[in-house]
C-alpha cells in the first residue's frame, strides 16, 4: 500500500463540478478520497505532504493534435520524448497525428504506435489514422480496420483534402464506424505558401500572407 499523499495550498480547478478555489486534495492508493477548500484539518499519519502554493491542480489535460517524429523521424522527436514534454506541461493524454514516415494509414502502423507508447511513453498516447492513403488526398483508407487496430479518430494532419466529393465520402464512411474526423480545412489555392494572416503586419515583416476574408 502506498503512503497517503496530501497536496495543499493549490488552486484546484475541476471543470466537471465548476470548482475553482484554493484548497487541498488527499490521495490514498492512487484515488482522490477528499477535497477541501482552504487548509486541510490534518494529514493522515505517515502521509507525504506537498505544498503546491502558487500552482494549479486540475484533471490531466488532453492535447488533440500532436505531431511526433516516430516512426521515421526519430532524430526530431520520439514518442517517449513527446510524452515527457507533455507530462511536464500537465498533459496526461495526447492524440498523435498521422504525419509520420510511413504515415499512419495502415493497421500495422497503428499497432506499432500503441505498442511503442505502452512500452516507452509516460502518458497516454492515442493514435489518429490517416483519412487518405499516404496523406495524398486521393484514396480513402480502410476506416474499419484502422478503428479495429486502435485508431481513435481520422485526420490527414497538416494536409487538407481538396476534393469535396472525396471528403463527403470520407464523412459518410466514417459515420458507419462512429469515427471522429478531425480535418485541417484550407483552400490551397488561397493559402499557397503563406505563413500568417495577410495584412499590414505581414507586409511590414516581408512575409507572405493568407487571405483572412
Question: Are residues 86 and 174 located together in one domain of the fold?
Answer: yes
Residues 53 and 67 in one domain: no
The position carrying cell 497516454 is 124
Asked if 181 and 151 touch (Cβ cutoff 8 Å), the reply is: no
> Is the domain of 77 the same as that of 102?
yes
Cβ 128 vs Cβ 153: under 8 Å: yes
Q: 69 and 173: one domain? A: yes
User: Looking at residue 80, which CATH number applies to its domain?
Assistant: 3.20.20.140
Same domain, 93 and 170: yes
**Is 165 in the same domain as 191?**
no
| Total number of domains constituting the chain | 3
| pLDDT score of 41 | 80
**Cell numbers that stand for 40 in this block:** 486541510
Supply the pTM of this predicted model: 0.83
Domain extent for 44: 5-57
Residue 89, number of CB atoms within 10 A of its CB: 8
pLDDT of 190 reads 85
Is residue 207 domain-shared with residue 131, that is, in the same domain? no
| Mean pLDDT estimate for the chain | 93
Answer yes or no: is pLDDT of 1 > 70. Answer: no
Summarised one tens digit per residue, pLDDT across range 105-145 is 999 999 999 999 999 999 999 999 999 999 999 999 999 99
Cα gap 96→63, rounded to integer Å = 9
Same structural domain, 33 and 96: no
Place of cell 470548482: 19
The reply to whether 143 and 207 lie within a common domain is no
Amino acid at each position: 500500500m502506498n503512503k497517503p499523499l496530501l497536496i495543499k495550498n493549490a488552486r484546484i480547478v475541476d471543470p466537471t463540478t465548476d470548482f475553482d478555489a484554493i484548497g487541498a486534495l488527499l490521495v490514498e492508493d492512487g484515488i482522490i478520497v477528499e477535497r477541501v477548500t482552504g487548509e486541510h484539518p490534518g494529514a493522515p499519519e505517515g502521509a507525504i505532504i506537498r505544498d503546491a502554493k502558487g500552482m494549479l491542480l486540475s484533471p490531466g489535460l488532453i492535447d488533440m493534435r500532436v505531431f511526433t517524429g516516430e516512426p521515421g523521424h526519430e532524430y526530431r522527436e520520439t514518442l517517449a520524448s513527446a510524452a515527457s514534454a507533455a507530462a511536464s506541461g500537465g498533459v496526461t493524454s495526447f492524440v498523435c497525428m498521422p504525419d509520420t514516415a510511413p504515415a499512419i494509414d495502415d493497421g500495422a502502423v497503428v499497432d506499432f504506435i500503441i505498442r511503442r507508447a505502452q512500452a516507452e511513453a509516460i502518458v497516454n498516447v492515442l493514435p489518429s489514422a490517416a483519412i487518405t492513403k499516404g496523406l495524398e488526398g486521393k484514396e480513402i483508407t480502410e476506416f474499419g480496420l484502422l478503428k479495429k487496430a486502435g485508431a481513435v479518430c481520422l485526420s490527414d494532419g497538416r494536409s487538407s483534402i481538396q476534393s469535396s466529393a472525396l471528403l463527403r465520402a470520407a464523412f459518410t464512411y466514417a459515420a458507419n464506424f462512429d469515427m471522429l474526423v478531425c480535418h485541417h480545412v484550407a483552400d490551397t489555392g488561397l493559402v499557397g505558401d503563406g505563413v500568417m494572416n495577410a495584412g499590414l503586419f505581414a507586409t511590414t515583416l516581408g512575409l507572405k500572407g493568407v487571405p483572412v476574408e
